[in-house]
């Protein structure tokens, strides 16, 4: 797969400042790296300062550029406001906001705790609202861009994913509302919605090895995605290449949501996540 430098100009985000929630790991770390690689200064935030510091140091060594790591809990407005304030104090502006903080685990509704469902909604959906609202005054000044990280789970009834499906459906709806309300301020708001992405904790947690071959066959492009696929979509949406694109849900899933099938064969027709995963499942948050 072509590197981002072969597709996008090296300085396409020069002079821009990006704030990324969940930017210390997984897909959002890849999104951060892409923006850093193409000239942006970046602030990353998540709950673990240790993880953030490690990720920031790795990126400084591998890519260079300016990156600031600040721990926060996106569920708490006062904490994310402090991150926004620190970003302005350090870099003076916010041009790009990536709402990527998320939580997920497998659990059927009957064993999903009230707290577990609420926690995922709060991290994913409430966190997206909190961070967008806190950053709005500065996005208004810069005529900035918001990229919300959603998924493709909510477009069908995926077993054991009620909590995250509800949260991501809310993010899709919030994206469209913000695009409509903030468009007159020249703020563009879009979603990147990944499908199954290789080398991520999410795929390892949610898909047993035995299911990977069959699942790949059901993806029209016949492969799992790579973090680089999400990087390409991020640079498109963060740059002037998408200057007339807002309120859009960009599915980056190889067409998986078009052909997803769930053929579970269990005695008495009962879906059992323990059998499916071969390990304990349930509320983890």
- Model confidence pLDDT, tens digit, residues 3-61: 899 999 999 999 999 999 999 999 999 999 999 999 999 999 999 999 999 999 999 99
Mean pLDDT of 98-114: 95
Tell me the pLDDT band of 266, cut-offs 50, 70 and 90: very low
Superfamily of chain region 4-277: NAD(P)-binding Rossmann-like Domain (3.40.50.720)
d(CA 207, CA 71): 29
CA–CA distance from 159 to each of 72, 106, 162, 214, 270 (Å)?
A: 31, 8, 7, 17, 11
Q: Please name the residue that has the structure tokens 């995963």.
A: 277
* pLDDT value, residue 2: 81
Taking all residues of the chain, what is their mean pLDDT, rounded to a whole number? Answer: 90
Q: Using the predicted structure, report yes or no on whether residue 268 has a pLDDT greater than 50.
A: no
* pLDDT value, residue 207: 65
Tell me the pLDDT band of 284, cut-offs 50, 70 and 90: low
d(CA 2, CA 284): 37
DSSP for 25-54? SHHHHHHHHHHHHTT-EEEEE-S-HHHHHH
Q: Using the predicted structure, report yes or no on whether residue 264 has a pLDDT greater than 50.
A: no
Q: Using the predicted structure, report yes or no on whether residue 256 has a pLDDT greater than 70.
A: yes
For the chain, which residues make up each domain, given as ranges? 4-277
pTM, entire model: 0.91
d(CA 150, CA 167): 9
3-state SS class at 115: helix
* pLDDT value, residue 129: 98
Largest CA distance in the chain: 61
* pLDDT value, residue 252: 97
Q: Using the predicted structure, report yes or no on whether residue 137 has a pLDDT greater than 90.
A: yes
3-state SS class at 20: strand
């Amino acid at each position: 797969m072509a590197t981002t430098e072969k597709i996008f100009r090296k300085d396409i985000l020069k002079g821009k400042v990006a704030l990324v929630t969940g930017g210390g790991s997984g897909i959002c770390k890849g999104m951060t790296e892409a923006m850093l690689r193409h000239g942006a200064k970046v602030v990353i935030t998540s709950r673990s300062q240790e993880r953030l510091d490690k990720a920031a140091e790795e990126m400084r060594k591998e890519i260079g550029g300016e990156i600031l790591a600040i721990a926060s809990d996106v569920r708490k407005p006062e904490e994310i406001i402090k991150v926004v304030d620190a970003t302005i104090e350090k870099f003076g502006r916010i041009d790009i906001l990536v709402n990527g903080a998320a939580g997920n685990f497998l659990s059927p509704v009957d064993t999903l705790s009230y707290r577990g469902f609420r926690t995922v909604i709060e991290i994913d959906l409430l966190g997206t609202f909190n961070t967008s609202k806190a950053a709005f005054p500065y996005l208004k000044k810069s005529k900035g861009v918001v990229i919300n990280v959603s998924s493709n789970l909510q477009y069908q009834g995926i077993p054991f994913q009620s909590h995250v499906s509800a949260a991501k459906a809310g993010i899709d709806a919030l994206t469209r509302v913000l695009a409509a309300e903030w468009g007159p301020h020249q703020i563009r708001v879009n979603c990147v919605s990944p499908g199954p992405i290789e080398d991520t904790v999410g795929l390892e947690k949610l898909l047993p090895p035995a299911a990977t071959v069959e699942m790949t066959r059901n993806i029209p492009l016949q492969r799992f995605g790579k973090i680089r696929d999400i990087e390409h979509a991020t640079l498109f949406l963060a740059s002037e290449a998408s200057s007339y694109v807002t309120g859009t849900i960009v599915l980056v899933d190889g067409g998986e949501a078009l052909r997803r099938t769930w053929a579970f064969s269990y005695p008495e027709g009962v879906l059992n996540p323990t059998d499916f995963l071969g390990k304990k499942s349930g509320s983890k948050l």
